[in-house]
Structure 1
Amino acid sequence: MKSISLFFICLLVISCNQTKKPQTMKPKIVIAHRGASGYLPEHTLEAKAMAHEMNVDFIEQDLVLSKDDVPIVIHDIYLDDVTNVSTKFPNRKRQDNRFYVIDFTFDELKTLQVTERFNPETGEQVYKNRFPIWKGNFKLHSLQEEIELIQGLNASTQKNIGIYPEIKEPAFHAKEGKNLTKIVLKVLADYGYNTKNDNCILQCFDAKELEKIRKELKSELFLVQLMEFEDEAKKLGHFARYADGIGPWYRQILSEKIDGKFTFTSLVSDAHKLGLQVHPYTFRADALAEFSSFEEMMETLLIDANVDGAFTDFPNKVISFLEKQKTNY
């Protein structure tokens, strides 16, 4: 009996002292949120070129239609918080005192100066330590122009960086008598983006519209359902019927902080069980809210919460963090 006991003790000691096999970290995708918008004015071609040089996986395009049906790359249906429209076309505002992209032709939009995001009521820059407001000569551009830039850079640099367009407020466009989605899908198809193999992820907050894109318009693109509200977490099963991933606000993933460590809701694990990827927004090094540092934010969400990717204004910082993490596995 003693020899048998010693045998098992030896086995236990050997097992405990064995070096653990190295683990491989699941690849995470880095999405340049409005380009490298932490360094250059958002959604400018300059910000997109900078993001491309940073070797991101995808570059984002928010899309709104002009009066003459050109898909414009801009974050909102409004112009007055990123351009000089109020001084150049002061009489073109609507009754709500806002200036709408859809009220201007593409040629008119090209005459506007784009700047760092600001509050149109106060004129104050939103992110004060970013590119100085009203400096430089930045312009609006079309989806076609941005695709040609990214595809051209892919060709000249031998990279394969993808695009990540968003259908912006389709219901608003419909009320204006326009079909933003069909126009965007046509442009994407014209440039070779048709299936999940074509390095294009299409996103939208409007669940009905995204479902329509899959089921009625028969799109075979990789689709991501953007999420904004807590109750949407209950709809993951429905989202999984047409979408390939979700894009939640990162706070929908966080629960509470206990002993200095964040705990999490079940959103990520529930999504993964349904085969959905999770790409939360937005990782900003200069807007940390509940995090003590950008490092903590990245560690918490990318590693501890195990999301599949991140929208970020600072792509180089996220890429650097992930490269360091690879050496630890």
Structure 2
Amino acid sequence: MYARAVAATATAIMGTAGLLTPTSEARAGEVGPPTVVAHRGASAYAPENTLASIDEAAKMGFSWVENDVQRTKDGELVVIHDDSLQRTTNVEDVFPGRAPWKVKDFTAAEIARLDAGGWFSPAYAGTRVPTLEQYMRRVEHNHEKLLLEVKNPELYPGIEQQTLKLLGNEGWLDRQHLGRLIVQSFSADSVRTVHELRPALTTAYLGRPSVAQLPQYACFIDLINPSYGSISSGYVSAVHAFTGPHGRPLGVFAWTVDDAATAWKVAGYGVDGLITNKPDVVRAALDGD
């Protein structure tokens, strides 16, 4: 089993790993491999951000999945990555005169008519864009854990409050679920809002703040989640040296790692998690298979 022996930061990493229930137990003087997070579900093998994709991740034995949340014209929260429906649905065929096909310009009923799987494979034709409510219920059914991204919050005023309300209604803000949920965004203001509204939640900032900026981020985030190409072992160690709002060292989940060589390299930096479209490839690399 892959071990990250980073003596100077072992205690810090272990503290964060405990918060995020990693893939293996830490041993004396070592830390287990990073947590593997299925990016938009097992999105190399099923259409991204669909129920099929998180079902596939569950079948493959992965507990952590990641998704993206946006809002429809009539205020429904839906799970989709792009602010446009064009890339991952047949919206051009169903609504040909409504370019640029922005999520915010379509009602939930209109989006429910779209095929969100045929673009990926004929086997998934008829797959739908899930609402966040549908998605959360499937995550619960699959006994999975969720890294939820508030996407494009500048387009959807109040989406943080709305997302938290839905999570609460679905039972995801109780003590039992807090260890299974991380809320993240590329918007520092959005993450700060989530933290202020629900201080007990684990939060993450998507990006790579400078080391000089880390003290201010540590007031409202538990993890820094950067692109893997933007970091080094020195940067990861610097992040681990700061304590977040829950009294634990900050963690690092790096994205998007899809091949064995990169998985080994980035795991060697001492990161706490790897976000990947190919979780099986990353797991095999870290297990030495």
TM-score > 0.5, shorter chain as reference: yes
Taking a change above 3 Å as real, the CA distance of residues 171 and 102 of structure 1, as seen in their structure-2 partners, is same
Alignment coverage as a number of residue pairs: 255
For residues 165-176 of structure 1, the aligned pairs below 5 Å read 165-174=148-157
- Partners of 2:262 and 2:280 lie apart in 1 by 15
Match of 1:113 among 112, 115, 122: 115
Taking a change above 3 Å as real, the CA distance of residues 86 and 232 of structure 1, as seen in their structure-2 partners, is farther
Give 3-state SS (helix, strand or coil) of 2:220's partner: coil
Say if 1:31 and 1:310, in contact at 8 Å, map to a contact too. Answer: yes
Find the counterpart in structure 2 of residue 164 from structure 1: 147
Post-superposition CA distance 1:119-142 (Å, at most 9, x none):
xxxxxxxxxxxx547962221111
Alpha-carbon distance, 1:23 to partner: 5.6
Taking a change above 3 Å as real, the CA distance of residues 104 and 232 of structure 1, as seen in their structure-2 partners, is farther
Find the counterpart in structure 2 of residue 277 from structure 1: 251
For residues 171-190 of structure 1, the aligned pairs below 5 Å read 171-174=154-157, 179-190=158-169
For residues 199-214 of structure 1, the aligned pairs below 5 Å read 199-214=180-195
1:319 aligns with 2:283: yes
Alpha-carbon distance, 1:28 to partner: 1.9
For residues 180-329 of structure 1, the aligned pairs below 5 Å read 180-194=159-173, 197-215=178-196, 217-227=197-207, 232-253=210-231, 264=232, 266-274=234-242, 275-284=249-258, 294-302=259-267, 304-324=268-288
Say if 1:112 and 1:140, in contact at 8 Å, map to a contact too. Answer: yes
Over the residues paired in the alignment, what is the CA RMSD in angstroms? 2.2
Post-superposition CA distance 1:262-318 (Å, at most 9, x none):
xx362201111111110011012xxxxxxxxx221111001x211101110011122
- Partners of 1:110 and 1:250 lie apart in 2 by 35
The amino acid across from 1:237 in the alignment is P
Say if 2:186 and 2:207, in contact at 8 Å, map to a contact too. Answer: yes
- Partners of 2:28 and 2:202 lie apart in 1 by 32
- The alignment's TM-score, normalised by the length of structure 1, stands at 0.72
Say if 1:110 and 1:140, in contact at 8 Å, map to a contact too. Answer: yes
1:49 aligns with 2:17: no
- Partners of 1:146 and 1:101 lie apart in 2 by 17
Find the counterpart in structure 2 of residue 142 from structure 1: 131
Alpha-carbon distance, 1:181 to partner: 0.9
% identical equivalent positions:
28
Give 3-state SS (helix, strand or coil) of 1:316's partner: helix
Match of 1:80 among 76, 79, 86: 86
Say if 2:47 and 2:124, in contact at 8 Å, map to a contact too. Answer: no
The amino acid across from 2:207 in the alignment is M
- Partners of 1:164 and 1:276 lie apart in 2 by 16
Alpha-carbon distance, 1:87 to partner: 1.6
Give 3-state SS (helix, strand or coil) of 2:101's partner: coil
Alpha-carbon distance, 1:321 to partner: 2.6
- Partners of 2:76 and 2:34 lie apart in 1 by 33
- Partners of 1:319 and 1:265 lie apart in 2 by 20
The amino acid across from 1:152 in the alignment is H
Alpha-carbon distance, 1:71 to partner: 0.9
